[in-house]
Structure 1
Amino acid sequence: MIGIIGGTGIASILGKGEEKIIETKYGKAKVLIDGDVVLLFRHGIKHNVPPHKINYRANIYALKQLGVERILAINSVGSLKEEIKPGSFVIPNDFIEFTKCREGTFYDEGKVVHIDMSEPYCPELREILKKILENKKYDYHEGVYVCTEGPRFETKREIEIYKNWGDVVGMTGYPEVVLARELEMCYVSLCNVTNYAAGISKNVLTVDEVLETIKAMEDKILKIVDEFINYDFGERECICKDALKHAVI
């Protein structure tokens, strides 16, 4: 099974399949199931859940219960670098997080687990995603994803700091990536760059700007997702499938 996690605007272009409510010990998660593909909209199908209120643990655990082994997460982000232009894609190879009140682990009681995150995004899926984008001749970059709490946009001074450490900034990439690794699931992120972050662009950042860029990128996103879910993956040989082997004390 393959899981596709989407955010702002993605529900309107990927919203197909049988709707189901999955009960987990962390709460409920609503998904759409289309054959061997599970679609999950982190903000809700009607986009009414802000990033800091998303039940990330229920979402990821529900995918695990459904038998999902590989996750493609679609994240809308702001660019921290002038050369990473709105309308392009970024495939993160690392992350830094500045969130404040999110449940970031499944292992907060019972046993102590120190999961290795030296390579947080599945290396096999990253290579597959790069191959898909290169074959499509889509403009993309690799880089570090900076995750903030939201739902507000970042200040200019915050961006001055973040741009020294990362390449794009968003609000939803963490803790998904960590939770997936804790459950030995492969996780890769496709970041669609919707805007320049505050201070990099001279214009005031608006939600309309973000939604307009997502709308313009819809066709490309759909083609990438289609290529991904139809890819002949074979057996997993990555670090993700054995993540807990040396993590439990």
Structure 2
Amino acid sequence: MIGIIGGTGIASILKGDKEEIINTKYGKAKVVIDKESDVVLLFRHGIKHNIPPHKINYRANIYALKKLGVERILAINSVGSLKENLKPGMFFIPNDFIEFTKKREETFYDEEKVVHIDMTEPYCPDLRNVLKKISERNNFSYGEGVYVCTEGPRFETKKEIEIYKNWGDVVGMTGYPEVVLARELEMCYASLCSITNYACGISKNVLTVDEVLEKIKEMEDKILRIVEEFINYDFGERKCICKDALKHAVIE
């Protein structure tokens, strides 16, 4: 089963529009299940897009997908570019991350035992290759590199961006801890990022939410094309590092 984490527009390609509540020991998660296509869609910001990045219940969301039998997750994220060659309107496929979050519950293993999960290659290499193949087949421009995750909901300052651009390529607010939580549950996880703007200090103008939403709208058809082809991709048996993550973890 495939899990898609993203915005409400993706629901248009699924054969199902009834929202279901999944109860977990970490809280409730709301999903739309397309049983015919074996796909679960989860809106991380809520169906009304009213949950800010720092208040998303990431553990409940990822645990719910695991509970439903999801093995592969495609996360749709919006990001700001830290590099001039990564232009708004392009896609970005992260291969690593750096995080500067402060308040988020970021592990499932914080009570009975300590688990140090390996994150040498945090994003599933197999899913990343699939995303690149789909993008190239459709002639969609994309970049690769490091995703810098900040707490939000505010945008970053000019000085923060000056620092981040030395370490990463794009900046966003929702990519972490999803990627780690998925690995802790031995699920494959990859992110398709839409570059909606240049970050503060790189952009010549003051950044607005309207600017971001407008660019997402412009890219919507391309996003839906990639998601649809991803859902219909013939993956076969999982042979990646993700499925055996706990075998290689240090457990105390």
TM-score (norm 2): 0.96
Is 1:59 equivalent to 2:61 in the alignment?
yes
Secondary structure in structure 1 of the residue aligned to 2:115:
coil
CA distance in 1, matches of 2:168, 2:87: 15
Of 109, 112, 129, the match for 1:110: 112
How many residues of Structure 1 are paired with residues of Structure 2 in the alignment?
246
AA of the residue aligned to 2:20:
K
Distance 2:219 2:9 in 1: 13
Aligned to 2:174, what secondary structure does the other structure show?
Answer: coil
Aligned mates of 1:89, 1:117 — CA distance in 2: 23
SS in 1 for 2:116: coil
Mapped partners of 1:63, 1:174: distance in 2: 16
Residues 203-248 of structure 1 deviation map (CA, whole Å, 9 limit, x = unaligned): 0000010010000001000000000000000000000000000212
Code of the residue aligned with 1:34 in structure 2: it is D
Root mean square deviation, CA, Å: 0.8
Alpha-carbon deviation of 1:12? 3.1
Matched ranges for 1:38-187 at <5 A: 38-187=40-189
For the residues of structure 1 that align with 2:84 and 2:11, how far apart are their CA atoms?
30
In the aligned structure 2, how far is the partner of 1:107 from the partner of 1:244?
12
| CA distance in structure 1 between the partners assigned to 2:204 and 2:103 by the alignment | 31
Q: Write the deviation string for residues 143-202 of structure 1: whole angstroms up to 9, x where unpaired.
A: 100000000000000000000000000000000000000000000000000000000011
Give, in angstroms, the shift of residue 19 of structure 1. Answer: 1.4
Q: Secondary structure at the match of 2:194?
A: strand
Q: Report what 1:236 is aligned to.
A: 238
Over the matched positions of the two proteins, sequence identity in percent amounts to 83
List structure 1 segments (4+ residues) > 4 angstroms apart after TM superposition. none
Q: State the alpha-carbon separation in 2 of the partners of residues 124 and 37 from structure 1.
A: 18
**Equivalent residue, structure 2, for 1:5:** 5
- Name the CA distance, whole Å, in 1 between partners of 2:19 and 2:105: 26
* TM-score calculated relative to the size of structure 1: 0.97
Instruction: Confirm or deny that 1:14 pairs with 2:11.
Output: yes
Q: Measure, in 1, the Cα distance between the counterparts of 2:221 and 2:8.
A: 14
SS in structure 2 of the partner of residue 243 of structure 1: helix
Aligned counterpart, 1:222: 224
In structure 1, the residue corresponding to 2:215 is in which secondary structure?
helix
Distance 1:51 1:72 in 2: 18
2: CA distance, partners of 1:80 / 1:246: 33
1:34-93: per-residue Cα shift (whole Å, max 9, x none)?
Answer: 120000000001001000000000000000000000000000000000000000000000
Task: Return 46-55 or 11-20, whichever deviates more.
Answer: 11-20
**Equivalent position of 1:34 in the other structure:** 34
After superposition, where does 1:170-209 map in structure 2 within 5 Å?
A: 170-209=172-211
Secondary structure at 1:244's aligned position in 2?
Answer: helix
- Alignment gaps of 5+ in structure 1: none
Structure 2 spans left out of the alignment, 5+ residues: none
Q: How far off is 1:112 after superposition?
A: 1.1
Does the 8 Å contact 1:132/1:227 carry over to 2? yes
